[in-house]
């Protein structure tokens, strides 16, 4: 009777070993999928940060351009006023 159980035990052990390999493969595949998802998420996050940074820099650049234009216009007005004042002084002298 003990001799009859030995082959059954061996077959059962091989079956468990096969399940164990399958379980290991499935676990490895799941880990790879999680890693791929994490990489994709990080890549998307990096792209989002880059896009937000580009947008912020573009907005700041536009604001600086507008400020520069306003300063230039103000300087032109001051220059025109100085020229007009000089012309008035020349008329009176």
pLDDT tens for each residue of 36-56: 888 899 999 999 999 999 999
Instruction: Retrieve residue 19's tokens.
Output: 């399940």
In the prediction, which pLDDT does 11 show?
55
Q: Which of 50, 81, 53, 76 is nearest to 89 (CA)?
A: 81
Q: pTM of the full predicted structure? A: 0.50
The rounded distance, in Å, linking the Cα atoms of 89 and 26 is: 94
Instruction: Retrieve residue 61's tokens.
Output: 């650049």
First to last CA, the chain: 137
Which residues in the chain land under pLDDT 50?
1
Burial 45-79 (b: 16+ CB within 10 A, else e): eeeeeeeeeeeeeeeeeeeeeeeeeeeeeeeeeee
In the prediction, which pLDDT does 14 show?
52
């Amino acid at each position: 009777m003990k001799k009859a159980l030995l082959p059954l035990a061996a077959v059962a052990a091989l079956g468990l070993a096969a399940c164990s390999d399958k379980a290991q493969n499935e676990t490895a595949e799941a880990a790879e999928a999680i890693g791929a998802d994490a990489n994709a998420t990080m890549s998307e996050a990096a792209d989002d940060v880059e896009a937000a940074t580009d947008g912020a820099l573009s907005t700041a650049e536009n604001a600086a351009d507008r400020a520069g234009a306003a300063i230039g216009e103000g300087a032109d007005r001051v220059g025109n006023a100085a020229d007009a004042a000089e012309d008035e002084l020349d008329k009176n002298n």
